[in-house]
């Protein structure tokens, strides 16, 4: 099996690479690249993302044909894709971090700043929070409800169709922390930084 | 519910773990990679490396330590000490650090914080504040506590938030190495001044100090070194104690 972690200068992806290599060992070939042919010929794709919504979308668009290749992979060919953090947020139609920015539009919805209730809640939402699994997802095999995952974000994805939401977490409100729509998966939290349970989620994705 | 974090900090010099008493009289407490692994397996919410002699000496050893640690530990890793430029940050992140903490460079050149938070995202930029009480206020010290910048800690903290810091790591110079507890007055004043999370540091001698840092200091996370290093307490013990005091922790 060939799994590509998309390297599009979206910030620090070392931890994503390390965690996938740890789980994959020698049975899965992990490629880290933005090469369009390698992406479209992969069995699975991981789309990480750090920094702002705008900086990630800009970085995607800077690589000629990358958005189209990812869309072909996930939408036309319906192969499994996992978005992490801003990688998940970019599934949306539109994001409002820095300035209004068009997303990939794969899962209809928008990305807004978390309501900090006039400073009652610190932002970014940093640390370990529990996930409330509201829909069984393939990536949650052997993951118990209320498991702790590691979060770092100030913006949240608000999908129009609530049926895509597989888990939420409680911070100011019920924040969407994972989605599953057919072959498209996303986590707002960082499985690569969520210790053994996070590695379990990565393993689940590799085993889809 | 978001949990308060416990962060063991490993002071690293020439690739080895040491812990200073007021930054002098260093003792060797082992290999940083092995220690970090023991901590993450033991339930540490994050790991912090502080390269204590980085400002003065060849610091290539830290890159190797970070690289090896990040292949074994799958909890967030913060690295500080001698981080002066975008290049330094880039190199540490590429080695597998998840966050960097910037101290002296943030005082001398605030642009480093502005530029790095734009380039890498606020989530990986921690501004480390070393503060010492002077009369009714606290002043910012740099160069591992050697130089007094004269800057007011509260105003500086706010400015760093505005510049793009994702978190503040606040160390009381008066308390560091004393084991008499955090300067909770300093912590709570800074915490109420900013809307980003605060990590309390400096002075932990027992588990009640961790409780105080969160309850009285209003810190999101508590950092400690020696109480964990010499086997005085395990991370698990610390968490169970915090839990017994009604503080939300990941157990």
Which CA distances in Å does B242 have to B6, B39, B198, B221? Answer: 10, 17, 18, 12
Q: Which residues of B touch A171 (CB under 8 A)?
A: 2
Of A50, A119, A129, which is closest to B3 when you measure between CB atoms?
A129
pLDDT tens digit string along B48-73? 999 986 555 566 889 999 999 999 99
Residues of chain B with Cβ-Cβ distance to A15 below 8 Å are 70, 74, 96, 98
Instruction: Measure CB to CB from residue A50 to each of B2, B40, B123 and give the nearest one.
Output: B123
Element (H, E) at A58: helix A53-62
When mean pLDDT is compared across A181-190, B83-92, B150-159, the lowest value belongs to B83-92
The tokens describing B184, both together, are 């909770």
pLDDT score of A97 more than 50: yes
pLDDT tens-place string over residues B152-209: 999 999 999 999 999 999 999 999 989 999 999 999 999 999 999 999 999 999 999 9
Give A124-143 as a DSSP string.
SEEEEEE-EE-S--GGGTTP
Domain A2-206 carries which CATH code? 3.40.50.880
Task: Quick: pLDDT tens for A17-65.
Answer: 999 999 998 889 999 999 999 999 999 999 999 989 999 999 999 999 9
What angle separates helix B32-41 from helix B60-70, to the nearest 10 degrees? 30
Catalytic residue among A31, A68, A85, A156: A85
pLDDT band for position B22 (cuts 50, 70, 90) = very low
Q: Convert the pLDDT of each residue in B86-99 to its tens digit.
A: 999 999 999 999 99
Is the torsion defined by CA of B84, B87, B88, B90 positive or negative? Answer: positive
- Residue (of B11, B76, B13) closest to B40 by Cα position: B76
Interface of A with B (CB under 8 A): 11-12, 14-15, 18-19, 21-22, 50-52, 55, 116, 119, 122-130, 148, 150-154, 170-171, 192-196, 198-199
Contacts of A3 (CB under 8 A, 6+ apart): A20, A24, A28, A29, A30, A31, A42, A43, A44, A45, A46, A206
pLDDT value, residue A65: 98
pLDDT tens for each residue of A111-142: 999 999 998 999 999 999 999 999 999 999 99
What is the count of residue pairs from A and B with beta carbons less than 8 Å apart? 101
Summarised one tens digit per residue, pLDDT across range B106-123 is 999 999 999 999 889 999
Asked whether residue A198 carries a pLDDT value surpassing 80, the answer given is yes
Run of H or E residues at A45: strand A44-47
**Are the beta carbons of A15 and B120 separated by less than 8 Å?**
no
* Helix segments in chain B, DSSP class H: 32-41, 60-70, 86-95, 104-108, 111-120, 153-163, 184-193, 207-215, 226-229, 235-244
The reported pLDDT for the residue numbered A77 is 98
B29 pLDDT band, cuts 50/70/90, is: low
**Bridging pattern class, strands B77-80 and B47-51:** parallel
> What is the structure's pLDDT at B60?
82
User: Cβ B121–A55 below 8 Å, yes or no?
Assistant: yes
Which residues of A fall within a CB distance of 8 Å from B89?
none
- Cα distance from B209 to chain A (closest Cα, Å)? 20
Paired sense of beta strands A165-171 and B147-152, if any: unpaired
Q: How far apart are CA B64 and CA B79, in angstroms?
A: 12
* Among the partner residues A122, A130, A153, nearest to B1 by beta-carbon distance: A130
Q: What is the pTM of this model?
A: 0.95
**Domains of chain B: residue spans and CATH:** 5-244 (3.20.20.70)
């Amino acid at each position: 099996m060939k799994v590509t972690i998309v390297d599009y200068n979206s910030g620090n992806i070392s931890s994503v690479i390390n965690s996938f290599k740890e789980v994959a060992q020698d049975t899965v070939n992990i490629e880290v690249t933005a090469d369009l042919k390698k992406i479209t010929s992969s069995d699975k794709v991981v789309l990480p993302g750090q920094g702002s919504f705008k900086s990630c979308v800009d970085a995607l668009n800077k690589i000629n044909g990358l958005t189209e290749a990812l869309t072909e992979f996930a939408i036309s060919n319906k192969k499994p894709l996992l978005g992490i953090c801003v990688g998940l947020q970019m599934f949306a139609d539109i994001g409002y971090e820095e300035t209004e920015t068009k997303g990939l539009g794969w899962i209809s919805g928008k990305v807004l700043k978390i309501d900090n209730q006039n400073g009652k809640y610190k932002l970014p939402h940093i640390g370990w929070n529990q996930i409330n699994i509201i829909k069984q997802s393939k990536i949650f095999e052997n993951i118990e409800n209320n498991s702790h995952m590691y979060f770092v974000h100030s913006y949240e994805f608000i999908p129009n169709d609530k049926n895509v939401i597989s888990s939420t977490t409680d911070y100011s409100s019920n924040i969407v922390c994972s989605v599953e729509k057919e072959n498209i998966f996303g986590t707002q939290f960082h499985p690569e930084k969520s210790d053994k349970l996070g590695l379990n989620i990565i393993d689940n994705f590799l085993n889809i | 519910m978001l949990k308060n974090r416990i962060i063991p900090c490993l002071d690293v010099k020439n690739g080895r773990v040491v812990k200073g008493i007021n930054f002098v009289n260093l003792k060797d407490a082992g290999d940083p990679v092995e220690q970090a692994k023991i901590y993450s397996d033991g339930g540490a919410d994050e790991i912090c490396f502080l390269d204590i002699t980085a400002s003065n000496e060849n610091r290539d050893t830290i890159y190797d330590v970070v690289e090896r640690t990040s292949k074994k530990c799958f909890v967030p890793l913060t690295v500080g000490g001698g981080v002066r430029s975008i290049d330094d940050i880039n190199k540490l992140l590429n080695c597998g650090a998840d966050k960097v903490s910037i101290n002296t460079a943030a005082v001398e050149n605030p642009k480093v914080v502005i530029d790095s938070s734009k380039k890498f995202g606020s989530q990986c930029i921690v501004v480390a504040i070393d503060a010492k009480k002077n009369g009714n206020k606290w002043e910012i010290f740099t160069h591992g506590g050697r130089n007094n910048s004269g800057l007011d800690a509260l105003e500086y903290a706010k400015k760093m938030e505005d510049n793009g810091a994702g978190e503040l790591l606040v160390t009381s110079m008066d308390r560091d190495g004393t084991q008499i507890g955090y300067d909770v007055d300093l912590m709570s004043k800074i915490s109420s001044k900013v809307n980003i999370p605060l990590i309390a540091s400096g002075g932990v001698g027992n588990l009640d100090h961790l409780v105080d840092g969160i309850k009285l200091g209003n810190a999101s996370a508590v950092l400690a070194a020696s109480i964990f290093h010499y086997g005085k307490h395990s991370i698990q013990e610390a968490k169970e104690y915090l839990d017994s005091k009604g503080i939300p922790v990941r157990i």
